[in-house]
Amino acid sequence: MIATSPATATAQGDPCWNRICWRAPGVRCAVAETLLLWPGAAALLISPHHGQPPLSPTAIGPVSVLISNAGITRDALSPTMREEDFTDVIETNLVGSFRMAKAVSKSMISAKWGRIVFISSIMGFLGSPGQANYASSKAGMLGLTRSLAWELGSRNVTVNMVTPGLIETDMIDAVTDKRRDQLLSQTPLRRTGTVQEVANVVKFLASDDASYVTGAAVPIGGGIGMGQ
């Protein structure tokens, strides 16, 4: 999860900084991962309870922009998939995104400005063998995105999601050559995407340039699944 907020210090050392968080004086970028998997953790990251230390040294107060990009996989064919592997993926990918959006939305409503961007996946639209859990979690983000767009739109808060295709990250290291070739054969550009290409679209959606874009599912997949 990536959150930005007006603050007295500029973010330093965060891996997201050169990809998503643009340099602006007085803006801090906080990156959090497993802290957000249990109820209440998201709220503590944003505003630590009185008398308790923050879960992260980058606890940053009211948030203006949320990039919800936490994601895990626990692949197996449905007949042999353990139930905990299904629920763990849903809990992390979908419920974790809801918790963060809930935690930041109140300050955005008060400020009458905010940007929420969910990182989904084209597999949420296409489905994928062995990924019933992952595809379900990413498909659920569409309903979450559009419901929040309705709920928050009157307060000048936009909510969008992007649906990357095959992107060169650690997450696709386990993809077999056969499966990679299958996916590339369904991709008109015939190549994988880069993290920077995803970040460029996310940065746009988080900016004032996208002030009239909300409830959108923006594909970043070289054409795979177009029209879905």
Quick one: tokens of 85? 């592997």
- For residue 29, what are the β-bridge partners? 4
Residues sharing a CB contact under 8 Å with residue 183, sequence separation 6 or more, in sequence order: 165, 166, 175, 224
C-alpha to C-alpha distance for 227 and 219, rounded to whole angstroms: 9
Q: How far from the centroid of its chain's Cα atoms is residue 10's Cα? A: 22
Is 212 annotated as catalytic? no
β-strands 157-164, 217-220 pairing:
parallel
Short-list 143, 195, 151, CA closest to 15: 195
Task: State the number of CA atoms in the 13 A half-sphere of 173 facing the CB.
Answer: 4
Helix axes 132-152, 83-90, angle to 10 degrees: 30
C-alpha to C-alpha distance for 153 and 141, rounded to whole angstroms: 17
Residues 139 and 89: beta-carbon distance below 8 Å: no
- Determine which one of 86, 118, 125, 134 is catalytic: 134
Q: Please identify every residue annotated as catalytic.
A: 134
